[in-house]
Every structure is written in structure tokens, then in C-alpha cells.
Structure 1
Amino acid sequence: MLDQVWWAFEGVLRALSNPLIAGGVVAGGVALGFGGRLVARRAGWRPVPSVLAGVWLGVVLGVTFSRTLPDWAGRDQFCLLNGFSVHGSAELLNVLLFVPLVFCAVLATRRPVAVLGSAVALSAAIEVVQPLTRRGVCETQDFFNNSAGAVAAAVLAAGVLAVHRRRAAAR
């Protein structure tokens, strides 16, 4: 498992060495971080996790849409139908991709089910839009892996909120 994490870290560094991906991640993170602050003010959400959720949304969108269609991508099939797997650095990165976004968004909104549903819908939308924009490949595995990470993050954040509520009630 430690080897997979190391390979995933190296994969992130390789991806960020591409100026288009790095620029997309930075620009998206900054723009959506500001957007997160504005939404927090209007919706009454917690400001710091809202900004962080916005930044992570920018990272997710920047990573997924700042790259070009790989040469190996087949033209015969709109979406590759493959299953959940964490065997490999790209697969592990797809599990981890939505974790910070969902965790921060749940802390900001205090609505784990709504955030989880939105994250799963966003993952599905990304997978459908990628081949249409020629910015990636639609794979069911990516959707399943993103969704698994989103579920883990929503459950973890809901647990953090529950502990916080218990401590506040005990005071």
C-alpha cells in the first residue's frame, strides 16, 4: 500500500509538471476559493471550510479538464466500462480526488447527504463531459473510485460534526 501511495504522489508531481494542468489547478482553486467565500456569506455556511471546499473544487476541475485526450484513448466507445479498483496510482488518486472537497464541504454546510449526492453527481458529470470536450476519457472506474472517496469523506466529516455537537452540548 505504501508503494501505491508513493507512486500516486509521483503521479501528482508528474501531472503538475504540465503547465496546463498546474495553471488550471491554480486558477481554478483561486477563483473557486473566492466563490466559496461569497457563497458562505450568503448561505450562512462556515467560511474557512467553504473557502477550502471552493479551492478543492477548483483542484478537481483543474485536474480533470486541464489535460488533453490521451493517445491511447479509443474512439470506438464513449465510456470505458470497468469496475472499482485501487490497484495502481491513478486508481488510488481517483479515490482520493474528492476526499478533501467533500470533507470541507460537509464541514462548511453541515449537510453530509446533500454534499455526497452533489459529489457523486459531479463525478458523473465530469466523466460524461470529458470525452465531449476531449479533455479526458470517460471511465466507470473513475466514477466508482471518486464516489468511494466521496462516501468515505462524507462519513468522516459527519463523524467530526457529531463529535463537535456532543462536545458543544456537554458544555
Structure 2
Amino acid sequence: MLNELWWMWLQVFDSLSNPLIGGGVVVGGVALGFGGRLAARRTGWRPVPSVLAGIWLGVVLGATFSRTLPDWAGRDQFCQLNGFAVNGGIELLNGLLFVPLVFCAVLATRRPLAVLGSAIALSAAIEIVQPLTRRGLCETQDFLNNSAGAVVAAALAAGVLAAYRHRTAAR
């Protein structure tokens, strides 16, 4: 397990060393972080988690759309039909990809189900758009792993909100 985690982090740093991916993550994170702040002002969301959710949305979009598709990929079928798995580094990264975004968005909006539904829809949209733009592969495994991570993050954030409400009600 430790070996898998080490390999996973090496993959992240290797990907970010690509100027296109690193730049996409930074530019997307900064731009959408500002967008999160604007959304917080207009909607009454909590500002800090809104900014963090915007940054993480930029990271998700930057990481998924800044890379180029290898020549060998995506020729046989539009979407590869494979199942849920977290037995490898890339699979685990896909499971973790939406966790910070969903966690922060739930804390910002206080609406776990709405955020969860939006995250699942975003994951599906990313998987459909990637092969159309030649910026990645459509894989059902990525969608399932992203969605599972989003469910865990929404549940954790809902628990944090419930604990906070319970603590403030007890005062």
C-alpha cells in the first residue's frame, strides 16, 4: 500500500511538471478561486470554503483538460466500459480527485445533496467531453471512482456541518 501511495504522488508531480498541465491547474485554480469569492458574495455562501471550492474546481478541470491524448488512445470506442476499482495509483487518484472540491463546496453552500448531484454530473460531463476534445479518455471507471470520492466527501462534510450545528445548539 505504501508503495502504491508513493507511486501515486510521483505520478502527480510528474504530471504537474508538464507545463500545459501545471499551467492549466494554476490558471484554473486562481481564476475559479476568484469566481468562488464572487459567488460567495452574491449568494451568502461561506467565503473561505467557497474560494477553496473554486480553486479545487480549477484543479479538477485543469488536470482533466490540460493534457493531450496519446495517439494510441480513443480509437476503438468512444468510452471504455470498465468497473469501479482503486487497486492502482491512477484509480486511487480518480477516487480522490473530487474529494476536496466536494468537501469545500458542501461547507460553503451547506447543501450536501445538491453539491453531490452537481459533482456527479460534472464527472459525467468531463468523461463525455474528454474524447470529443481529445483531452483524455472516457472511462466509466473514472466516473465511478470520481463519484465514489464525491459521495465520501459529501458525507464527511455533512457530518462536519451536523456536528457544528449540534455544538452551537448546545450552547
The 5 Å alignment of 1:17-56 reads 17-56=17-56
The whole-number CA distance in structure 1 between the counterparts of 2:13 and 2:113 is 32
The 5 Å alignment of 1:2-151 reads 2-151=2-151
Deviation at 1:76, TM superposition (A): 1.9
The whole-number CA distance in structure 1 between the counterparts of 2:32 and 2:8 is 25
The whole-number CA distance in structure 1 between the counterparts of 2:141 and 2:126 is 13
The whole-number CA distance in structure 2 between the counterparts of 1:74 and 1:116 is 29
The whole-number CA distance in structure 1 between the counterparts of 2:159 and 2:3 is 29
Deviation at 1:72, TM superposition (A): 3.0
| TM-score when normalising by structure 2 | 0.98
Unaligned runs of 5+ in 1: none
The whole-number CA distance in structure 2 between the counterparts of 1:11 and 1:89 is 8
Q: CA RMSD in A?
A: 0.7
The whole-number CA distance in structure 2 between the counterparts of 1:60 and 1:130 is 13
Secondary structure in 1 aligned to 2:77?
A: coil
Secondary structure in 2 aligned to 1:67?
A: coil
Instruction: Indicate if the aligned counterparts of 1:4 and 1:92 stay in contact, CA closer than 8 A.
Output: no
The whole-number CA distance in structure 2 between the counterparts of 1:113 and 1:45 is 16
Deviations 1:102-158 (A, max 9, x none): 000000000000000000000000000000000000000000000000000000000
Aligned residues: 171
One-letter amino acid matched to 1:156: L
Deviation at 1:78, TM superposition (A): 0.2
The whole-number CA distance in structure 1 between the counterparts of 2:147 and 2:86 is 13
Any runs of at least 4 consecutive aligned residues in structure 1 with deviations exceeding 2 A, and if so which?
none
Unaligned runs of 5+ in 2: none
Instruction: Indicate if the aligned counterparts of 2:95 and 2:146 stay in contact, CA closer than 8 A.
Output: yes
| TM-score when normalising by structure 1 | 0.98
One-letter amino acid matched to 2:137: V
